[in-house]
Amino acid sequence: MARFIVPPYLLHRLAETDDPRFGRASAAARFSLQEAADFRAARRVAPLRPRSTLVAEPGTDEPAGPARSIGDAQGAEQLPGVLVRSEGQPSNGDVAVDEAYDGLGETYAFFAEVFGRRSIDDAELPLDATVHFGRDYDNAFWDGERMVFGDGDGEVFNRFTASLSVIGHELAHGVIQHSGDLVYQGQSGALNESIADVIGVLVEQYSRGQNAADASWLVGEGLFTAEVQGSALRSMSAPGTAYDDDVLGKDPQPGHMDDYVATSDDNGGVHINSGIPNRAFFLAATKLGGRAWETAGRIWYDTLTSGRVTPTMDFSAFAVATVATAAEQYGDGSGEAAAVIEAWEGVGLVLG
């Protein structure tokens, strides 16, 4: 199943608007929703090229370096598009191609340099992407094999390659797919989205050299045009505050279990309720201080890849697993373990 960065509830609001300022955006939202339905019904994916033979030598943990390829869908809805840039080739002058190429590289570098991971599958899987998908397409997604980026409608959404946190988020779905593979429904699906958000903001923070205290903690910052009253798709520090707009409505994410949204929409609220574990990570990272990827990020990543994560895990079980990882790494009763417990309690999950 494809994993989309823009949640359906936001696109539905935009699709239903009769505001004359956003006629193009409303049509684009309807198209984007239909494309999402089509991808759920049948994956239309063809290989861009044979899988790379660029694999690390047996017995070594040293990442070999990214193997990137960028396809251009040229406004069509077929994948993979025309191959326009491969690993090591210079820019062709297309901003979206360059942003995708660079973002894939920065995400690869984050995993390699911080966690010693060899691409998203830890076995040097090539990083493929397609840009210029559809006309005014208002989304970006991971389809199980590649990243796909729309150009946005220009009225509400800018091009989706412009946000490094979006690129990191979507590639993180690939890491989750090859690790815990959390079922995309209910709380396990919200954890899937949350972990992708965590990785997305950490990739961006790592690229910028930011400490936890200096970071924006926004997912998709810069995606909205100046016409929108909002800063990003989601805020990890303050879920529910990312946007408040006459057309898009107010960001519906809760940041505490008291406000958990029980719904059958959006696969049981995977994009909405992800605000709760997002806030928990923010609380842990800022309590621990310094660079978030070094301690809090390591605890979350090691939990994901430890074998502790089960496909239908709920928030409480994941919280317990992160505490166990922290205790394993830093010691029972350590300040790190205490910070993780305090973070989960801060969003209404009392452990023990």
Which pLDDT score, from 0 to 100, does residue 329 have? Answer: 96
Please check whether residue 327 lies inside any domain of the structure. yes
C-alpha separations of 189 from 12, 62, 67, 267 in Å: 20, 32, 29, 8
| Token pair for 216 | 């924006």
The whole domain housing 11 covers 3-177
Q: Which amino acid type is present at position 225?
A: T
| Token pair for 139 | 């989304």
Please check whether residue 206 lies inside any domain of the structure. yes
Which pLDDT score, from 0 to 100, does residue 62 have? Answer: 77
Q: What is the pLDDT of residues 75-119, one digit of tens each?
A: 999 999 999 999 999 999 999 999 999 999 999 999 999 999 999
Q: Are residues 149 and 108 in the same domain?
A: yes
Q: Are residues 172 and 193 in the same domain?
A: no
Give the length of the chain: 352
Which pLDDT score, from 0 to 100, does residue 37 have? Answer: 80
Q: Are residues 157 and 195 in the same domain?
A: no
Contact 117, 111 (CB under 8 A): yes
C-alpha separations of 319 from 299, 310, 312 in Å: 11, 13, 14
Residue 162 to residue 100: CA distance in whole angstroms: 8
Contact 112, 105 (CB under 8 A): no
Which pLDDT score, from 0 to 100, does residue 40 have? Answer: 61
Quick one: three-class SS letters along 194-221?
Answer: HHHHHHHHHHHHHHHCCCCCCCCCEECC
Q: Are residues 164 and 245 in the same domain?
A: no
Query: Can you give the pTM of this predicted structure?
Result: 0.93
Q: Are residues 169 and 279 in the same domain?
A: no
Q: Are residues 77 and 147 in the same domain?
A: yes
Please check whether residue 308 lies inside any domain of the structure. yes
Whether the predicted pLDDT of 291 surpasses 80: yes
Pick the catalytic residue: 132, 169, 173, 271? 271
Confidence of residue 199 (pLDDT cuts 50, 70, 90): very high
Q: Are residues 165 and 96 in the same domain?
A: yes
The CATH number of residue 90's host domain is 3.10.170.10
Please check whether residue 350 lies inside any domain of the structure. no
Please check whether residue 212 lies inside any domain of the structure. yes
Which pLDDT score, from 0 to 100, does residue 153 have? Answer: 97
The CATH number of residue 218's host domain is 1.10.390.10
Which pLDDT score, from 0 to 100, does residue 64 have? Answer: 87
Which pLDDT score, from 0 to 100, does residue 98 have? Answer: 98
Q: What is the pLDDT of residues 224-263, one digit of tens each?
A: 999 999 999 999 999 999 999 999 999 999 999 999 999 9
Q: Are residues 167 and 204 in the same domain?
A: no
Which pLDDT score, from 0 to 100, does residue 181 have? Answer: 82
Whether the predicted pLDDT of 18 surpasses 70: yes
Q: Which residue among 133, 153, 177 closes a domain?
A: 177
Please check whether residue 12 lies inside any domain of the structure. yes
Which pLDDT score, from 0 to 100, does residue 36 have? Answer: 81
Q: What is the pLDDT of residues 118-171, one digit of tens each?
A: 999 999 999 999 999 999 999 999 998 999 999 999 999 999 999 999 999 999
Q: Which residue among 159, 177, 195 closes a domain?
A: 177
The β-bridge partners of 239 are none
Q: Are residues 172 and 199 in the same domain?
A: no
Please check whether residue 352 lies inside any domain of the structure. no
Whether the predicted pLDDT of 23 surpasses 90: yes
Whether the predicted pLDDT of 297 surpasses 90: yes
Q: What is the pLDDT of residues 205-227, one digit of tens each?
A: 999 999 999 999 999 999 999 99
Q: Which residue among 124, 156, 177 closes a domain?
A: 177
How many domains does one find in the chain? Answer: 2
Please check whether residue 135 lies inside any domain of the structure. yes
Q: Are residues 296 and 163 in the same domain?
A: no
Whether the predicted pLDDT of 328 surpasses 70: yes
Q: Are residues 256 and 173 in the same domain?
A: no
Q: Are residues 165 and 32 in the same domain?
A: yes
Please give the angle made by the CA atoms of 116, 122 and 124, to the nearest 5 degrees: 105
Pick the catalytic residue: 155, 170, 204, 336? 170
Which pLDDT score, from 0 to 100, does residue 59 have? Answer: 39
Which pLDDT score, from 0 to 100, does residue 63 have? Answer: 87
Whether 170 is a known active-site residue: answer: yes
Q: What is the pLDDT of residues 33-75, one digit of tens each?
A: 998 887 665 544 444 333 333 333 433 567 889 999 999 999 9
